[in-house]
């Protein structure tokens, strides 16, 4: 009488896995706001998504927004479906630069708006206030420049940098719009300023032809313009733009942490990002260009999410999140089998999902233990 073949491993989640998933979702819905005073940058408004008391088991991201928007640009992206798996296993610390929270009053006339360098250096105050040890920096445009300076100044607090449309040199694109970017009103954003901000954000040409590969791009641009006029204080937006215009060169080649540069081929800053990448250490800095994208968040959010996940896996973070198109069962076994023909488990097998997601920060150690193998991202 022939014996029955061995039962296949169950593919449905266990009760424990369902409980862990429910707990992660509940934690990811936690949101808190803080006002944090810094040494040189004034008061920063901070919005935290997720439970920072669980940071030892989570990836912690520090985000800084671009010109003409605030933390909601990152919040909308984090809340999108393509980020759901990452969101459940992460915490996000969103920074509003001075005067950029919704419905903020104009900054005082005697307030000196900080440079991008000063903003970057002062971000460590946010980490100290929230008792956060390490972060992955995630920034766009001017915010990417700010976070790059944070990583250069405080490499021991930064696990890596994901920089979207990051500029490495003094302003060049702005010169093209010098005649149009001429006036700001105290109570509203002037037409020339709005045109520049639209182009800066979306690669939006003045002939009203929208670029990018998102069928909802007109709606997205309209919503951006609406928020620009209704939620943000134009005087404060002007200060951030001026800080961006007067930025100094960014010595990213001296960066000690891993960096991922992302840009869209239709972005007005694509060539600027290419130049920045050309002048960096390729062992530390990787570049990704996305076709048919002006604003990568709106034109290719799934590709951005996948890039974030790959980068984090390379840092030993989010290791339990399965890449799209990869069977979950295979993700916890190697391609070669054991001596008995059964799949050989990875070294961290047997852990719960919570333990598996716990960041491995051994790579931050200053001393090297030659008996330990180098940490590598799982394939």
- How, if at all, do strands 90-96 and 343-345 pair? unpaired
* Cα separation, 316 vs 222, whole angstroms: 39
Place of tokens 């969101």: 87
CB 135 within 8 A of CB 235: no
Instruction: Give, for all 379 residues of the chain, the pLDDT tens digit.
Output: 444 555 444 456 677 666 666 556 656 567 999 999 999 999 999 999 999 999 999 999 999 999 999 999 999 999 999 999 999 999 999 999 999 999 999 999 999 999 999 999 999 999 999 999 999 999 999 999 999 999 999 999 999 999 999 998 877 555 545 534 456 666 667 777 888 888 888 875 434 455 555 677 788 888 898 898 899 999 999 999 989 988 999 999 989 999 999 999 989 899 999 999 998 999 999 999 999 888 999 899 999 999 999 999 999 999 989 876 544 444 443 333 444 444 433 344 445 545 545 554 444 433 333 333 333 334 3
Q: Which two tokens stand for residue 19?
A: 């409980």
**Three-state helix/strand/coil letters over the chain:** CCCCCCCCCCCCCCHHHHHHHHHHHHHHCCEEEEEEECCCCCEEEEEEECCHHHHHHCEEEEEECCCCCCCHHHHHHHCCHHHHHHHHCEEEEEEECCCCCCCCCCCCCCCCCCCHHHHHHHHHHHHHHHCCCCEEEEEECHHHHHHHHHHHHCHHHEEEEEEECCCCCCCCHHHHCCCCCCCCCCCCCCHHHHHHHHHHHHCCCCCCCCCCCCCCHHHHHHHHHHHHHHCCCHHHHHHHHHHHHCCCCCCHHHCCCCEEEEEECCCCCHHHHHHHHHCCCCCCEEEEEECCCCCHHHHCHHHHHHHHHHHHHHCCCCCCCCCCCCCHHHHCEEEEECCCCCEEECCCCCCCHHHHCCCCCHHHCCCCCCCCCCCCCCC
**How many C-beta atoms lie closer than 10 Å to residue 108's C-beta?**
9
91 with 54: CB under 8 angstroms? Answer: yes
Question: Residues 6 or more apart from 1 whose CB is under 8 A from it?
Answer: none
Phi, psi of 32, rounded to the nearest 5 degrees: -135, 150
175 with 273: CB under 8 angstroms? Answer: no
Single out the residue of 309, 300, 262, 280 nearest to residue 66, CA to CA.
Answer: 262
Place of tokens 């000063």: 118
Which two tokens mark 202? Answer: 């979306």
pLDDT at 261: 98
353 touches 20 (CB < 8 A): yes
Predicted confidence at residue 143, as pLDDT, reads: 98
The Cα–Cα gap between 200 and 231 comes to 19
Q: Give the pairing type, strands 43-49 and 31-37.
A: antiparallel
Rounded CA-CA distance 363/357 in Å is 16
């Amino acid at each position: 009488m022939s014996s029955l073949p061995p039962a296949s491993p169950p593919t449905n989640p266990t009760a424990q896995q369902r409980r862990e998933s429910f707990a992660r979702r509940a934690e990811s819905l936690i949101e808190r706001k803080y006002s944090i005073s810094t040494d040189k940058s004034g008061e920063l408004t901070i919005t935290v998504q997720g439970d920072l008391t669980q940071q030892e088991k989570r990836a912690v991201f520090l985000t800084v927004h671009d010109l003409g928007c605030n933390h909601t640009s990152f919040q909308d992206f984090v809340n999108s479906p393509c980020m759901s798996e990452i969101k459940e296993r992460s915490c996000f610390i969103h920074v509003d630069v001075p005067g950029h929270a919704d419905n903020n009053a104009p900054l005082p006339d005697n307030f000196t708006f900080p440079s991008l360098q000063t903003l970057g250096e002062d971000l460590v105050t946010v980490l100290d206030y929230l008792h956060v040890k390490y972060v992955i920096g995630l920034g766009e445009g001017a915010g990417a420049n700010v976070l790059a300076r944070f990583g250069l100044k405080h490499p021991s607090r930064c696990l890596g940098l994901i920089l979207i449309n990051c500029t490495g040199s003094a302003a060049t694109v702005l010169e093209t719009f010098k005649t149009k970017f001429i006036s700001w009103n105290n109570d509203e954003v002037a037409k020339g300023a709005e045109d520049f901000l639209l182009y800066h954000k979306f690669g939006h040409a003045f002939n009203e032809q929208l670029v990018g590969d998102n069928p909802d791009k007109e709606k997205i641009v309209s919503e951006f313009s609406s928020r620009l006029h209704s939620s943000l204080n134009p005087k404060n937006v002007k200060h951030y733009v001026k800080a961006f215009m007067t930025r100094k060169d960014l010595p990213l080649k001296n960066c000690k942490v891993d960096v991922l540069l992302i840009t869209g081929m239709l972005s007005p800053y694509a060539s600027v990002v290419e130049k920045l990448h050309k002048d960096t250490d390729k062992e530390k800095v990787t570049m990704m260009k996305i076709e048919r994208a002006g604003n990568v968040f709106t034109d290719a959010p799934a590709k951005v999410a996948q890039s974030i996940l790959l980068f984090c896996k390379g840092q030993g973070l989010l290791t339990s999140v399965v890449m799209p198109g990869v069977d979950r069962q295979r993700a916890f076994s190697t391609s070669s089998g054991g001596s008995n023909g059964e799949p050989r488990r990875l070294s961290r097998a047997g852990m719960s999902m919570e333990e598996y997601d716990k960041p491995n920060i051994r790579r931050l150690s200053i001393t090297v233990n030659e008996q330990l193998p180098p940490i590598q991202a799982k394939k």
